[in-house]
A and B are shown apart, each in its own frame.
Chain A
Amino acid sequence: MIIDNKIFNELKRVRQEITTRLLIITVFAYFSFISVIAFKPDLFGQPFLETNFSIGIILGFLLILLIFIVTLIYVYQANKKLEPLIKQIQTSYKK
């Protein structure tokens, strides 16, 4: 049966590993950002080093970049680690 399939269990495990890590990063980064706005908005108004940017604007831009990078990392890992397993299961079912 399906449930005893070793490769499928491996697929589940690897997928969970990849997904959990990236989900935690995304949710943590976003809610930290929102929490600063909610509890300590002045912090984001501080100038960033010697520039005319504020810390909030720098972090906001970095967060946009991070969100994109998370999707890149996921697709890279999914194609590298998950796709071979999925292909293996698919071929074994076509036989």
Chain B
Amino acid sequence: MQESQDLNFIAILMFSIFVLITLFITYWAANQTKTAKGFYTAGGNITGLQNGLAISGDFMSAASFLGISGLVYLSGFDGLIYSIGFLVGWPIILLLIAEPLRNLGKYTFADVASFRLQQTPIRTLAALGSLFTVILYLIAQMVGAGKLIEILFGLPYYVAVIIVGGLMILYVTLGGMLATTWVQIIKAILLLSGASLIAFLVLINFNFNFDSFFSAAVNFHDNGNAILAPGGLISDPVSAISLGLALMFGTAGLPHILMRFFTVKDAVEARKSVVYATGFIGYFYLLTFIIGFGAIILVSSNPEYLNADGTLVGNNNMAAIHLAHAVGGDLLLGFISAVAFATILAVVSGLTLAGASAISHDLYANVFSKSVNEKKEMMISKVATVALGIIAIFLGIIFEKQNVAFMVGLAFAIAASTNFPILLLSIYWKKLTTRGAVIGGGAGLMLAVLLVILGPVVWVDILKNSEAIFPYKYPALFSMAVTFILIWFFSVTDKSKTAKDEHKKFDSQYFRAQTGIGIEEGSHH
């Protein structure tokens, strides 16, 4: 008992230092954030390196740090399937999306999708796609956060959820994108150094000889050599392709990620941000793999970390946390616990800011009011942030006992089936019309949700029906196909006058997308 008290103390102390520093930054950022531009994009003056770090801070969630290293600990190779999937979306963003997005947009990706199409329907659809993605993601983060903090800090679940929600509301309403960016940068540096340190302390036991490291892991794991091969994660070809599609194209449709590209000066910096982000994220996934294998060797052999039945104390996501203790004692454990908490905060802040922007910039300023009143728009954005924060806390508490892992998968499926297709085609396909985008994107959104509800995860595991109506876990293959086919069909058959106008505007839009002439400039201080 004595030991766990000390451990809580170190973790809480380190986390408090993090919170103090970030609140101080928020206070500083609040003074810089007087305009809507400052609020949504940090003034557009973030550098490529800073943005690359912030993107990785946005993207490397506690779920992927603890979840993937936990998956590697359990079944080895399968963890790599997720890592690669999460990484492979980045070249897609870089090659197809990043530069036109920066050149055409102002605050949200809906700016780009509605550049030459009709504002009201396209912004409404894009905002719906964003809000679905953001809220599903938020629930998954909140539930994960509550459980994690319950175990690490000994706080009750609901207290943990309220602390996360409350701090996030503070960061975002007061400091806007500038504070959110710096929270993400600090968190990314902490997470990368923490994970590097664990991996270093593991590998030093093997004199950095990977061959003997892997052979030790095989010897320690009950499944032996099987951990070096694909296991049960993907059981049939359709699921494999479907998951592959969702991961590859979903990343390019995540609103909180897309929003980060408006924080840099121009397309050159946007490009740079992706290279830095891909480097950091790729390196991080290599570390989670070493950490997972390290846990097989050092955690699974130590009764201190195991329940009587051989499972990990806490749950399987605790592999990295126990490993930190095994190689670095209470001090490293406290540090990694604090980093995990900081990680959750940074991710939910980015998500909430993206959700609030969809409400204030897309729905309020461009659909409901249509008049540009910056003060009012910013106020709506802050109100939306508080509302989303409260919704996140509320849903986090409701879903405490549910399995929420499928929600991130569904968020990716929606992003790949709605946000990504309308964004991609609005940039590159001249014949896209409002009618096509709304019907196709809307159908993709509904189908992705429906197929997940009727699929094995919700219909069988959660609703306790005996057999799934839709047999596959991952809907993206079907929902994406439906989106693209319907967009194509309802665009090419659209002979209306507005459709003709939309075709006409394509060339000048394409010109701006490629050259950045007419781009929204960063503000000068």
Footprint of B on A, CB under 8 Å?
2-3, 8, 11-12, 15, 19, 22-23, 26-27, 30-31, 33-35, 37-39, 41-42, 44-45, 51-54, 56-57, 60-61, 63-65, 67-68, 70-72, 74-75, 78-79, 83, 86, 89-90, 93
Among B81, B95, B267, the residue within 8 A (CB) of A74 is: B95
A-B residue pairs in contact (CB < 8 Å), sample of 29? A8-B511, A23-B95, A23-B96, A26-B88, A30-B84, A30-B88, A30-B244, A31-B241, A38-B234, A38-B237, A38-B241, A41-B230, A45-B228, A45-B230, A52-B218, A53-B228, A54-B77, A56-B77, A57-B228, A63-B84, A65-B282, A68-B279, A71-B90, A71-B274, A74-B94, A75-B94, A75-B271, A90-B515, A93-B515
Q: Report the bound CA distance from A54 to B83 in whole Å.
A: 17
Q: Report the bound CA distance from A19 to B248 in whole Å.
A: 16
| CB pair A44 B84 closer than 8 Å | no
Which residue of the partner chain A has the closest CB to B80? Answer: A60
Residues of A close to B83: CB separation below 8 A: 60, 64
Among B80, B96, B218, the residue within 8 A (CB) of A19 is: B96
Q: Report the bound CA distance from A50 to B212 in whole Å.
A: 12
Q: Report the bound CA distance from A39 to B239 in whole Å.
A: 11
Known contacts A54-B228, A67-B90, A90 near B240 by CB under 8 Å = no
Among A3, A37, A68, the residue within 8 A (CB) of B81 is: A37
Q: Report the bound CA distance from A68 to B52 in whole Å.
A: 13
Known contacts A54-B229, A60-B80, A71 near B285 by CB under 8 Å = no
| CB pair B275 A71 closer than 8 Å | yes
| CB pair A2 B96 closer than 8 Å | no
Q: Report the bound CA distance from A64 to B79 in whole Å.
A: 13
Query: For chain B residues 147-186, which have a beta carbon within 8 Å of chain A?
Result: none
Q: Is B23 an interface residue (CB 8 A)?
A: no
How near does chain A come to B274, taking the closest CB pair, in angstroms? 6
How near does chain A come to B392, taking the closest CB pair, in angstroms? 32
| CB pair A53 B214 closer than 8 Å | yes
| CB pair B240 A56 closer than 8 Å | no
Known contacts A11-B515, A34-B241, A39-B237, A56 near B91 by CB under 8 Å = no
Residues of B close to A83: CB separation below 8 A: 268
Q: Report the bound CA distance from A15 to B84 in whole Å.
A: 26
| CB pair A64 B515 closer than 8 Å | no
Q: Report the bound CA distance from A29 to B195 in whole Å.
A: 28
Which residue of the partner chain A has the closest CB to B228? Answer: A54
Among B239, B279, B517, the residue within 8 A (CB) of A93 is: B517
| CB pair B95 A19 closer than 8 Å | yes
Q: Is B485 an interface residue (CB 8 A)?
A: no
Query: For chain B residues 208-257, which have a beta carbon within 8 Å of chain A?
Result: 210-212, 214-215, 218, 225-226, 228-230, 234, 236-237, 239-241, 243-244, 248
| CB pair B272 A75 closer than 8 Å | yes
Q: Report the bound CA distance from A22 to B282 in whole Å.
A: 18
Residues of B close to A64: CB separation below 8 A: 83-84, 87, 282, 285-286
Among B95, B210, B230, B516, the residue within 8 A (CB) of A56 is: B230
Residues of B close to A2: CB separation below 8 A: 507-508, 511
Which residue of the partner chain B has the closest CB to A5? Answer: B511
Among A33, A60, A61, A71, the residue within 8 A (CB) of B94 is: A71
Q: Report the bound CA distance from A52 to B210 in whole Å.
A: 9
Among B95, B212, B239, B507, the residue within 8 A (CB) of A3 is: B507
Residues of A close to B507: CB separation below 8 A: 2-3
Residues of A close to B243: CB separation below 8 A: 34
Interface centre among B88, B96, B211, B516 (most CB of A within 10 A): B88
Q: Which 4 A-B pairs have the closest CB atoms?
A: A45-B229, A38-B240, A54-B228, A52-B215
Q: Is B379 an interface residue (CB 8 A)?
A: no
Q: Is B278 an interface residue (CB 8 A)?
A: yes
Known contacts A35-B240, A70-B91, A78 near B271 by CB under 8 Å = yes
